[in-house]
C-alpha cells in the first residue's frame, strides 16, 4: 500500500454503536488492526514509553479488547 492510499476498513467493535468513540478496526486484506482512541499527550508517559517519531499512543477502554475477544475469539 502506497502512502496516501485509502485503507479498506472493517469495524470490529467499539465503545458505542454509532458516532465517534474508541473503536477497533481491521484493515481488510492485511490482518492489521487500527485503534481509535484518546491521544496520549503526557510528555512523561511518552518519554517513559520511548515512542519513536512516526508512532503515537492512544488510550482505549479495556472493555473494547475484552468484548472483541469474547465475540470474535471464543
User: Which domain covers residue 26, as residue numbers?
Assistant: 9-72
What is the reported pTM? 0.80
Average pLDDT over residues 38-56: 93
Give the N- to C-terminal CA distance of the chain in Å, as an integer: 31
Helix (H) or strand (E) holding 25: strand 23-27
What is the tally of structural domains in the chain?
1
Predicted confidence at residue 59, as pLDDT, reads: 95
In a domain, 4, yes or no: no
pLDDT at 1: 56
Please check whether residue 58 lies inside any domain of the structure. yes
Average pLDDT, the chain: 89
Amino acid at each position: 500500500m502506497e502512502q496516501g492510499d485509502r485503507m479498506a476498513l472493517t469495524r470490529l467493535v467499539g465503545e458505542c454503536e454509532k458516532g465517534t468513540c474508541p473503536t477497533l478496526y481491521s484493515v481488510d486484506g492485511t490482518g492489521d488492526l487500527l485503534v481509535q482512541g484518546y491521544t496520549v499527550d503526557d510528555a512523561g508517559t511518552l518519554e517513559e514509553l520511548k515512542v519513536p517519531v512516526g508512532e503515537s499512543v492512544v488510550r482505549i477502554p479495556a472493555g473494547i479488547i475484552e468484548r472483541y475477544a469474547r465475540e470474535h475469539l471464543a
